Structure 1
Amino acid sequence: MRQLRIVLILLLVAASTTLHVLPLLLVALVKALLPFERLRLAANSLLTGLAASWIGFNGWLWDTFTQTRLIVHGDADLRMDGHYLVLANHQSWVDILVLQKVFNRRIPLLRFFLKRQLFWVPLLGLAWWALDFPFMGRYTKKQIAKRPELAGRDIEATRRACEKFRAIPVSIMNFVEGTRFTPGKHARQSSPYRHLLKPKSGGVAFVLDAMGQGLHAVLDVTIAYPGGRPSLADLLADGVPEVCVQIRQREIPTELLCGDYQNDRAFRARFQQWMNGLWDQKDTDMAALLGEGERLSA
């Protein structure tokens, strides 16, 4: 029964994806041929509308085929015309579905920084490209040590993406830990946090530097699974009893909007101190969401 349920849902997702991506690609092609910037910007609303419809269908599947309770704290005052940097912890592929369900049609479409290899995912890779999702090399330290110029490619890709985002309402999504949480990774890092990996500040710093005053707030999102970290198959099989989410809307410190994160050691230390403060609070929020600490504060 579990396998039949998963196959059925995946078939519905595949059908919905095909029905949404084909017109999305057509609109993207027309947009690329339009001669005027104003017309190209107008096409963006059609593209994001198709993406929101696809996400909405996935949300309907969640509500129809699972009994998973989604409990959200602090989601007031969200704006569709906002310019947000969304930061979240990362435990499972389910996190992406959670974020989309919580924020769909409440803030601008979430845009993720994706590994370049994901461009080749059937249909979805082209859809992400059409929606201006930035594709990154994600080079290893060993690769960068051999070829230092590779580090600059991702920085430049970030700047190009942010230039596009300046003209439209946007939500730039960043899983700051850089990878999904596992107990093994937690132990190898000697992470000072009970429920989190160490935050990686560089990507956040590059976005804030590139966007400048173009962002008006950070949405600091904490996702917790009281029943344990689930797989995507667990969600599809209705094996996730509850998901808890805490959203904290934060002002961006003006002194962090411009600075040389790579070369200015003092600025980098201040930036990392700010990120570590966010992660201290997030670890406390995780404990509260999991029922291990005091109740959540505002």
Structure 2
Amino acid sequence: MSKLFAPITFLITTILTIIFTMLCSIPMVFAGVLKLLLPFKPIRRGVSSFCNFMMWCWCLSLAFILKITNRITWDIQGTDNLSKNNWYLLISNHKSWTDIVALCVLLRDRIPMNKYFLKQQLAWVPFIGIACWALDMPFMRRYSRSYLLKHPELRGKDIETTRRSCKKFRDHPTTIVNFVEGSRFTEQKKTKSKSPYRNLLPPKSAGIALALNVLGSQFDKILNVTLYYPDNEQRPFFDLLSGQMKRIVVRIETLPVDESIRGDYLNDKAYKRQFQLWLHGIWQSKDQLIDRLKSEYRK
């Protein structure tokens, strides 16, 4: 799409996204109210199935918007042998809001609907908050270290939220998505966090360790996803909305779920250290992969 039409494309894309989001989320809001009023297991299962279908419709609408507003070349590896009948734990680097769009569009017909760990503030967004609650997505409240020192009773609150949410995913195939860096990557955040990686923030291990502990026997695989936007590194989401996204690179590595990565993260210090080393090893390989992709696409 020509840069001349970028402002018009941005407006069209934004309007279409809002319209489709409302059309898909409003039915989920009513379904969520039904689940709240009738909290019985058959009702909850029916609501979950309906909301998953509506989320699939939303992902389909995003694919339609991308098709008419952008000319994207997808460079994808690793989608073979994925199934909508399996349980997956998906971990990914996090560069931009574009990551969520890319994962939804690419994987909507390959794996169960993605369930994200969301920031608590999103719970109050009109339509979106209740819709995500109806989808059983966990809302996480992040506390600073100084705040926890003043309110020690809140320590571990996010972990308990993760535990309760993961138990809900036992009833039907689910993909739990965790951007384990905890925030979108920027050079400023990399410096502030003293990240040992060139292209990533340090991974946070507690959330996925607990998900593996609660649902480990049901997870079929871990999907280690690396996302990269070689022509739109500076502002990928704005470029996507403006019709300027040129290429999306996706690499998916399928990892086994075995006993060595399952354990009591809260009480077993040896396991906690082992798990952190395992995750940092994955992140080191991911960092090197992004370096190689940068080198390939700059030739």
1:249 offset after TM fit, Å?
A: 0.8
Amino acid at match of 1:253: D
Q: Which residue, out of 186, 195, 203, partners 1:182?
A: 186
Alignment-derived partner of residue 219 in structure 1? 223
Q: Tell me which residue corresponds to 2:13.
A: 9
Comparing 8-17 with 170-179, which one deviates more in the overlay? Answer: 8-17
CA contact (8 A) 1:113 1:136 kept: yes
**Paired position in structure 2 for 1:166:** 170
2:260 counterpart residue number = 255
Q: Is the 8 A contact 2:6 2:244 kept in 1?
A: no
Aligned length: 292
Task: Choose 50-59 or 224-233, whichever is displaced more.
Answer: 224-233
Deviations 1:199-255 (A, max 9, x none): 111111121122231212100000011122424221111222211010011002312
2:82 counterpart residue number:
78
Q: 1:246 to 1:35 in 2, by over 3 A?
A: closer
Q: 2:102: which partner in 1?
A: 98
Greater Cα shift, 74-83 or 3-12:
3-12
**Matching of residue 243 in structure 1 with residue 244 in structure 2:** no
Q: State the partner residue of 2:213.
A: 209
| Aligned match for 1:197, one of 185, 190, 201 | 201
- Partner secondary structure for residue 142 of structure 2: coil
Q: Which runs of 5+ in 2 are unaligned?
A: none
Q: Could you tell me which of 258, 265, 268 is aligned with 2:269?
A: 265
TM-score (norm 1): 0.92
Answer yes or no: is the 8 Å Cα contact 2:86–2:174 preserved in 1: yes
Matched, 1:64 2:68: yes
Counterpart CA distance in 1 for 2:79 and 2:200 is 22
The answer (yes or no) to whether the contact 2:123–2:139 under 8 Å persists in 1 is yes
Q: TM-score if structure 2 supplies the norm length? A: 0.92
Residue-by-residue CA offset, 1:65-123 (whole Å, 9 max, x unaligned): 10122211111111111111100001111111111111112111111111111111121
- Give the aligned residue type for 1:49: F
Structure 1 residues 35 and 193, CA gap change in structure 2 (3 angstroms): closer
Cα distance in 2 for partners of 1:109, 1:290 equals: 30
1:20-31 → structure 2 map (5 Å cutoff): 20-31=24-35
Q: AA paired with 2:253?
A: R
Whole-Å Cα distance in 2 between the matches of residues 292 and 198 of structure 1?
A: 25
Matched, 1:47 2:51: yes
User: Given that residues 194 and 283 in structure 1 are in contact (C-alpha distance below 8 angstroms), is that contact kept between their aligned partners in structure 2?
Assistant: yes
Q: Which moved more, 1:208-217 or 1:101-110?
A: 208-217
Structure 1 portions without partners, runs of 5+: 294-298
Q: Choose from 111, 116, 119 the match for 2:120.
A: 116
Deviations 1:142-194 (A, max 9, x none): 11121122122211111110110111111111111111111122233332222
Superposed displacement of residue 36, structure 1: 4.8
Do 2:10 and 2:243's aligned partners in 1 also have CA atoms closer than 8 Å? no
CA contact (8 A) 1:71 1:243 kept: yes
Cα distance between partner residues in 1 of 2:234 and 2:85: 33
Q: Deviations over 1:11-46 (max 9, x none)?
A: 111221222222222233334445752343133221
CA contact (8 A) 2:111 2:175 kept: yes
* Partner Cα distance (1:188, 1:124) in 2: 31
Q: Does 1:127 align with 2:131?
A: yes
Q: CA RMSD in A?
A: 1.8
Q: Any idea what SS the aligned residue of 2:295 has?
A: coil
